Amino acid sequence: MIPNGPLRVRPAATVVCIRGAGAAAKAADAAGGTLSLEERAKNHVQEATRNEGPGSQLGSDASARIRVLFGEKAKRRALASAVCVLATAEALFHSNWEVLMGQGEVQNWIRSRPEKEVPMRYPGEWKFAGGVVDHGETPRQAAMRELEEEFQVKVALTEATCKLRLLSVKQTRPIRNVSNIMFNYVAAAEENPWLQELNVQEVNASLAQRRKSFAEAVEGGNFYTLGKEEQENLAPEIHQEYREAFQYRWTENVLLSSVLTLTPGPNTLTIDGQEVVIDLPAEDRGIRGVFWADPCFSSRYVNCAFGQTFQTLERSTRMLNAAFEDDSLDLFGVLGDNFYDQSGELTQEFFSRVSLNVKRRFWLMVNGNHDNWVCGFPFCGSSSDDFGIGQMQYYPMDTVASKNDRIFSFDIDPDRNKQWNQFLNNGTNFLFYHKLGNVGFLGYTGAADFAETLPHLHAACEYFAVSQPEVIFLLGHWNNEGLGCSQGMSVPEIHSTLMQIPGCSAFGRRGNYVQAKDEQSAYGFMIGGHGMADAMCAPQYGFAYLDTTGDRIRLYYFEVGRSGVWGIVVGAVLGVLLGALLGFWGVGTAISVQWLDMRSAVLHAFTSMNGSLLPVNDFQKQEFDRLGLQRRDPMFLTMVTLLEVDSFPSLRSLVSYSESLDPDEEVRRMQWLRDGMTPEEVMAKLKTSNAPAQVVAMFRTAEERGRLWEQRMKQEQTARL
C-alpha cells in the first residue's frame, strides 16, 4: 500500500515459540488427530477445485515468491493449483519443530458498528506473539511483553526468566504510511521453563470464557451501547497499548497510551515501574481545577516581554506543584497559545518541571492562533509552523476525530499542501465535549470552518441533554474574528449559536463561556494572561480557579502581577496525561492458541496467498461467510520465518547462528525504506523491490535452506564426536 504522506519507520518484535515434536504429538498423529501435509494439501485442492475453479491460481507476485522459496518445480505446480506446492515441496521440510501460534479474531469488534462490520488486519490467521516496540523499550523487552499479553503467560518474563534468540531482522512493506523493522526472535521450550509449563488448555478455556461473555453482550444488544472503554474490556481482542512516532511535526517524540477503565475514586496504575494514582470524580460530584491562559516564558519565537519580569516559568511551575499537593484538585488547563512553542522544546521544558502530582490529574488544552502560526497571524505563517499538529499529539484528547479508526485525523499534510497562511489541520482534532463530575466542557478551535463544526455542536448539545451537567463551559480561544479565526467561530458567536440548539438552550445562564480582554457579559468571564503582551494588550499575570463543590459554582481569578489589563479566552480539552504517556488505544487479537507442527503452520500461512479462499479452519470459514469476506491477507513474512526456523536441525545450531548475529548490522543490511521518505520515493523503492533478485536478496531460497540444513547437520555430528 503506497503511503499518502511521509513514511514512518518503527521497530517491532515477534517471537516464534518452538519445541521438539514429542511422544504426545506423535501419538496424536497415529490416532488421526493431525492430518499429514499431503492429506491437508489434497483436501484443500479438492475444495478449491469444487468451489473456486480457476480462481485458485496464484498471482504473478506470489508466483515469483513461490519460485524463490520452494524452487522452480513448485512454481510450475502452483500454476495448476496453489496448495499442491507444499506437497511437491515435502522434501524441503527438515525439522520436527512444533510452533506455538495464536489464531486471531476475524471481526474488529472495537471499530465495528451495528451498521458496519469491520474486519481485522489478517483476520482469523494463525500468528506469532508480537507487536510494536514501546518508547523506551528494546525489541527484546517488547517481545517478552507481547508473550505475556497474547499467550497469557503468568510468569513475569525478564532477561533472567526468558531466553530469546534473535533469528532475523526484516522490514515490511508500508501499510497506512508505516513500515516496521521486524526483530524476529525464537523462544525454545528446552531453555524456557515457563514455555514448558504453559498450559494451552487453560489459556484457551480463559479465552473461550471471555468470548462467551462477549457474545452474550452482542446478542443481547448491549455491546454497542457501551462506551469504548467497556467495549475494550469485553471484546475478545487482547488489549495492547498504542505506540506511534509523532507525524508531521515534533517527530522526535513518540505517542504511548492505552484506554483504561477507571472507577470513581482512586485508581492505581503502574507506569514504567512507578505507581500512579488517578482520582476520578464521581459523576455529578463537584470538582476543582486551575486554568492558565497564554503562558509565555521564552522569547525564542515571539517577544515574550514580561516572561522574565514575572518569572513565569519558575513561579508558575512552583505554584502548580504546591497547589496539586492537595488531592481535592481534579484538573489543570493550559488555556491556549501554549508556551508560544514552534518546535516542542519549550513544551518539554515546562513539562519536565511539573511534578507527578500535576501530571496525574486530568489535563485540559486548547488550540490558539500562536499554536498554529507562532507569529500569531496567518499572513506570516511559514513551513516551520506547527499548525497545532505537535500540540495535539503531545496533549492528545478524546476529540471528535477519535470517533474514527484513529485518535487523530492526519488528512492534511502541511508539507504537501504548503499553504502556510491557512489552518493546515482538521478542526475535529480539537473539538470535544465531556462531562467531568458535575461540569460539562465543550471545546473547539476557532480556526476551523463553521459549516464543518456545526453538526458537532448539535451532537454536543444532544450529549449534554442526556448527561445533564450542573453547568456547561464553552471553551475556545478567539473572542473576535481575525488572527486566524474563521467567520462565525469566535467564542461569543459560537455561544449564541449554541443557545439556539435544543439540548444547550435549556441551560440558559448555566451555559457559560470563559473569555478575556477587558469586557464581560452575562455569560462570559475573563482569564488573565501569563506574561505575554503586544501592541493591543498590556501584560497581566494570573490564573483562574474553578470550584463546583458544595452545591455552588465559583470561578475565581487570582492576579499575580499586572501592567494594564491582559487576558485571553480560556480554552480546554479534556484528557488524561499519565506521566510521560500520551493518549490512544490499540488492540491485538487471539481467540485460541495451539501447538502446530511445522508443516501445518507453513500450510496455513501459504494458503493465505492463494487467489481463492482456503480457510484455515471452520471458525475462519464461518466468520468469513458471515462478513462476506472473499479473500485472506497474505501471510508471507510468517511463512518465511517458519521456513527459516525449519532450517535448524537442533537448538544447538540455532543458538550458534543467533550468537553470530549483530542486531545493528542486521538492521543496516536489511533496511530498504527510511523514515520520512515521500510517497514518490517509496514507490520507486517498491518498483525495484518487486524484482525476483531483490526477493532473493531478502529471503533464502529452497536450495539455500537445503544446503544450510546439510551444513548444520554436519556441524552437529562433528560436535558429538
The pLDDT of residue 382: 94
The pLDDT of residue 616: 83
Question: What are the backbone dihedrals phi and psi of residue 85, each rounded to the nearest 5 degrees, phi first?
Answer: -55, -45
The pLDDT of residue 544: 85
Question: What are the backbone dihedrals phi and psi of residue 514, each rounded to the nearest 5 degrees, phi first?
Answer: -115, 120
Can you tell me the mean pLDDT for 275-303? 90
The pLDDT of residue 576: 26
Residue at 354: amino acid letter: V
What is the model's pTM?
0.52
The pLDDT of residue 174: 86
Look at strands 362-365 and 574-576 and give their pairing: antiparallel
HEC-encoded secondary structure of 154-201: CCCCCCCCCCCEEEEEEECCCECCEEEEEEEEEEEHHHCHHHHCCCHH
- Give CA–CA dist 83/207, Å, rounded: 31
Query: In sequence order, what are the residues at sequence separation of 6 or more whose Cβ sits closer than 8 angstroms to the Cβ of residue 713?
Result: 649
- DSSP secondary-structure letter at 375? T
The pLDDT of residue 81: 43
* Residue 418 CB neighbours (<10 A): 10
In this structure, of 154-163, 222-231, 419-428, 602-611, the range with the lowest mean pLDDT score is 222-231
At 564, the pLDDT band (50, 70, 90 cuts) reads very low
The pLDDT of residue 536: 55
- Give CA–CA dist 221/218, Å, rounded: 5
Residue 143 pLDDT greater than 60, yes or no: yes
Cα-to-chain-centroid distance, residue 657: 34
Query: Which residue in 696, 582, 596, 697 sits closest to 646, CA to CA?
Result: 596
- Give CA–CA dist 98/685, Å, rounded: 36
* 3 state SS of 23: helix
At 94, the pLDDT band (50, 70, 90 cuts) reads low
- Give CA–CA dist 405/4, Å, rounded: 17
Chain segment 615-663, per-residue pLDDT in tens:
888 888 888 999 999 888 888 889 889 989 998 999 999 999 999 999 9
- Give CA–CA dist 533/62, Å, rounded: 64
Q: How far apart are the first and last CA of the chain?
A: 52
Range 540-567 burial, b when 16+ CB lie within 10 A, else e: bbbbbebbbbeeebebebeebbbeebbb
Torsion of CA 655, 657, 662, 667, to 10 degrees: -110
Give me the percent of the chain exceeding a pLDDT of 90: 31
Chain segment 176-217, per-residue pLDDT in tens:
788 999 999 999 999 999 999 998 888 888 777 777 777 776
Using only the alpha carbons of the chain, give its radius of gyration. 29
State the cell numbers at 28: 496424536
At 611, the pLDDT band (50, 70, 90 cuts) reads low
The pLDDT of residue 225: 65
At 441, the pLDDT band (50, 70, 90 cuts) reads very high
The pLDDT of residue 98: 93
State the cell numbers at 532: 505575554
Residue 48 pLDDT greater than 50, yes or no: no
Can you tell me the mean pLDDT for 145-149? 88
Query: Which residue in 657, 648, 597 sits closest to 94, CA to CA?
Result: 648
At 708, the pLDDT band (50, 70, 90 cuts) reads confident
In this structure, of 186-190, 252-256, 263-267, the range with the lowest mean pLDDT score is 252-256
Cα-to-chain-centroid distance, residue 305: 40
Cα→Cα distances 608→35, 125, 274, Å: 19, 9, 43
Can you tell me the mean pLDDT for 234-240? 52
Using CB atoms within 10 Å of the CB of residue 315, give its burial: 0 to 12 exposed, 13 to 18 middle, 19+ buried.
Answer: middle
Chain segment 213-233, per-residue pLDDT in tens:
777 766 666 666 666 656 666
At 282, the pLDDT band (50, 70, 90 cuts) reads very high
Residue 594 pLDDT greater than 80, yes or no: yes
The pLDDT of residue 381: 94
Can you tell me the mean pLDDT for 245-249? 90
The pLDDT of residue 349: 92
Can you tell me the mean pLDDT for 577-594? 39
HEC-encoded secondary structure of 35-95: CCHHHHHHHHHHHHHHHCHHHHCCCHHHHHHHHHHHCHHHHHHHHHCCCHHHHHCHHHCCC
Residue 155 pLDDT greater than 60, yes or no: yes
The pLDDT of residue 235: 62
Residue 524 pLDDT greater than 50, yes or no: yes
- DSSP secondary-structure letter at 402? G
Query: Which residue in 583, 541, 572, 647 sits closest to 406, CA to CA?
Result: 583
Can you tell me the mean pLDDT for 110-130? 83
**Angle (nearest 5°) at CA 105 between 24 and 107:** 160
Residue 289 pLDDT greater than 90, yes or no: yes
- Give CA–CA dist 309/301, Å, rounded: 18
